[in-house]
Amino acid sequence: ARCRCVLPIRALHLLDIRQPGALLLDLGCGTGYSGAPLERAGHAWVGLDLSESMLRAARAPGKRRDVLCADLGAPLWLRRRVFDGAVSISAVQWLCHATANGHDPAKRVRTFFRGLKAVLVPGARAVLQLYPEQPEHMGMLRDAAVAAGFSGTLVVDYPRSERSKKLFLVLTSPNQAAAAAGGSARRSGGC
């Protein structure tokens, strides 16, 4: 349970949103457990997950959240440029696997990052905590993020411990000037 609590807190820290009231996207939100630190920090959030049973557990009256059933590897149908940031705890790496007939992992990863870029406000961060099973999976994720226009870095907590090592892909969506110029730029204080 400690790990489940620490990961979303660390992701929120890496998101680096300094004022409460942001609208955040939780990708692969499951039961909503990772959204609790977002709520405690004063943010509202929308969660996406493929599992309806997990989403039923995530729905709670009086909470500043909404959860929706969605496949992260399919085009996102959310309003463009509305989210101030995004987090994902142990979900995005599953896009690197063909979990159903007809799934092309590389295509699903590219679709995910194009959709993520579309729903984030320019200059917003996304923090994706993941456990890639193969080195090629990390390459696939990195290449698709860069192709979508993101800049960023890989943050590794506890790099010398195979058991405790945590990987966070910290991305910044292109700002409007960079997007218009066809490149990518970092907002001040970015990664």
Which pLDDT tens digit goes with each residue over 13-28? Answer: 999 998 889 999 999 9
Torsion sign, CA atoms 175, 177, 179, 183: negative
Polymer length in residues for the chain? 191
Average pLDDT, the chain: 86
pLDDT recorded at residue 171: 97
Mapped onto helix, strand or coil, the DSSP state of residue 184 is coil
Q: How far is CA 77 from CA 6, 58, 74, 96, in A?
A: 30, 20, 9, 21
Q: Across residues 146-166, what is the average pLDDT?
A: 93
Torsional sign, CA 107, 109, 112, 116 = negative
On whether the CB atoms of residues 83 and 120 are closer than 8 A, the answer is yes
> pLDDT value at position 44?
92
Higher pLDDT, 183 or 109: 109
Cβ contacts of 138 within 8 Å, gap of 6 or more: 132, 154, 167
Tens of pLDDT, residues 74-101: 999 999 999 999 999 999 999 998 877 8
Q: At what angle do helices 105-119 and 135-147 cross, to 10 degrees?
A: 40
Instruction: Using pLDDT thresholds of 50, 70 and 90, give the confidence band for residue 4.
Output: low
Query: Given a cut of 60, is residue 169 above it in pLDDT?
Result: yes
Q: According to the model, what pLDDT value does residue 185 have?
A: 38
CB-based contact 174:184 (threshold 8 Å): yes
111: left (phi over 0), alpha (psi -120 to 50) or beta: alpha
C-alpha span between 176 and 123 (Å, rounded)? 8
